[in-house]
């Protein structure tokens, strides 16, 4: 169903209107420190179904639930000592914890895609925090873009992909982190890295005092969002670790040793700058490539935020579903 998508200011009136729309079962895109999220009432089966429909998202792919604080998270999931330690250290922030779902959580079943776990986080953005407080409940909020496409870090990105499919977008400018949250599985056994993201793995390991296990993702049964093989993908094919582009490729550089690159994730080789601009750079490269064009990306170091950047690039470059 096509609808008029409104741009709302991030002030008290705009947030009150966004909360009213959410309470009525409508969808509202809102900023977090990572990317813009497509928010809907996580307790409403109709609102959650509308999220999947607006994105064209596979029903087997669970959603992250955003909550205002740790107390709200405890009402939805069971926390062990490790989860409490991580929440104390990194919430609010770009960390999602996948934890055992409480029987009385009251979430719409589609939020968890039938799994006995729920993915939770407390976003570190003043507008997101104010919206959660105004709404007064949990919001299911995947990235506010068509499924599998490049994630949105600016209101214009959301409008380009979802205008006419959602009620409103809260316009609060660009997202500072620029890549989605790190997802950590704590439901069974060792702490497992399910998706690298805006919180470096090294910080989590230092907090826990042990290395993280790496989960093997099942594309037919993802344990967390962002595990599909092809994801975050522009229209143009993407080639990685390219020191010298082929003729006709739009080359995205990193660092000072990429003369002639059309675009750069960070001319200074700064991983935080690269993460913050990654999705916007991919969109710009896609526009430059045009129909039938190709994108090449220079090597990015695979540590700290570089691990999340390389994860997103690898999924952008993966073979597309037919």
Last residue of a domain, one of 214, 230, 263: 214
Residues 13 and 89 in one domain: yes
CA separation for the pair 51, 60 (Å, rounded): 13
Residues 91 and 200 in one domain: yes
Confidence (pLDDT) at 222: 62
Instruction: Among 180, 214, 248, identify where a domain stops.
Output: 214
- Same domain? For 83 and 169 the reply is yes
Residue-range definition of the domain harbouring residue 306: 238-317
In 10 A of CB 163, how many CB atoms? 14
DSSP E strands in the chain: the ranges are 6-8, 28-31, 36-41, 64-66, 95-100, 117-121, 139-140, 168-170, 182-185, 192-195, 213-214, 238-239, 249-253, 263-264, 294-297
Q: For residue 227, is it within any domain?
A: no
Whether 225 is in a domain gets the answer no
User: Does residue 179 share a domain with residue 58?
Assistant: yes
The whole-number pLDDT of residue 233 equals 86
Please give the chain's pLDDT, 322 residues, in tens: 678 999 999 999 999 999 999 999 999 999 999 999 999 999 999 999 999 999 998 878 899 999 999 999 999 999 999 999 999 999 999 999 999 999 999 999 999 999 999 999 999 999 999 999 999 999 999 999 999 899 999 999 999 999 999 999 999 999 999 999 999 999 878 899 999 999 999 999 999 999 999 866 555 566 666 656 667 789 999 999 999 999 999 999 999 999 999 999 999 999 999 999 999 999 999 999 999 999 999 999 999 999 999 999 999 999 876 5
Q: With respect to residue 300, please indicate whether it lies within any of the assigned structural domains.
A: yes
Look at the chain and report how many structural domains it folds into: 2
Cα torsion 98, 171, 133, 277: sign: positive
283: domain CATH number is 3.40.50
201-232 as b/e: b if 16+ CB within 10 A: bebbeebbeeebeebebeeeebbbbbbbeebb
Helix axes 126-135, 12-23, angle to 10 degrees: 50
Do 209 and 298 fall into the same domain?
A: no
Where residue 89 sits, what CATH number does that domain have? Answer: 3.90.870.10
Residues 205 and 245 in one domain: no
Question: Per this entry, what is the length of the chain?
Answer: 322
């Amino acid at each position: 169903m096509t609808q008029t998508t409104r741009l709302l200011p991030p002030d008290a009136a705009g947030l009150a209107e966004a909360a009213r729309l959410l309470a009525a079962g409508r969808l509202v895109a809102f900023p977090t420190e990572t990317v813009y999220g497509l928010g809907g009432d996580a307790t409403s089966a109709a609102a959650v179904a509308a999220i999947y429909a607006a994105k064209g998202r596979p029903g087997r792919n669970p959603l992250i639930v955003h909550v205002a604080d740790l107390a709200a998270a405890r009402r939805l999931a069971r926390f062990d000592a490790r989860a409490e330690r991580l929440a104390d250290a990194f919430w609010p922030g770009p960390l999602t914890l996948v934890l055992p779902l409480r029987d009385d959580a009251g979430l719409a079943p589609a939020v968890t895609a039938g799994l006995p776990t729920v993915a939770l986080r407390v976003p570190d953005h003043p507008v997101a925090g104010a919206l959660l407080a105004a709404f007064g409940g949990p919001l299911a909020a995947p990235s506010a873009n068509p499924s599998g496409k490049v994630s949105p870090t600016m209101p214009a990105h959301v409008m380009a992909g979802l205008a006419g499919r959602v009620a409103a977008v809260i316009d609060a400018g660009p997202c500072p982190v620029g890549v989605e949250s790190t997802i950590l599985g704590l439901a069974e056994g060792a702490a497992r890295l399910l998706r690298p993201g805006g919180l470096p793995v090294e910080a989590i390991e230092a907090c826990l005092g042990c290395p993280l296990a790496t989960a093997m993702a099942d594309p037919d049964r993802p344990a967390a969002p962002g595990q599909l093989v092809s994801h975050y993908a522009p229209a143009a094919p993407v080639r990685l670790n390219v020191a010298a582009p082929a003729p006709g490729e739009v080359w995205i550089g990193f660092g000072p040793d990429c003369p002639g690159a059309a675009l750069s994730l960070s001319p200074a080789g700064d991983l935080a700058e690269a993460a913050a601009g990654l999705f916007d750079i991919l969109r710009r490269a896609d526009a430059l490539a045009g129909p039938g064009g190709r994108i090449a990306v220079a090597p990015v170091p695979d540590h700290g935020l570089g691990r999340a950047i390389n994860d997103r690039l690898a999924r952008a470059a993966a073979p597309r579903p037919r």
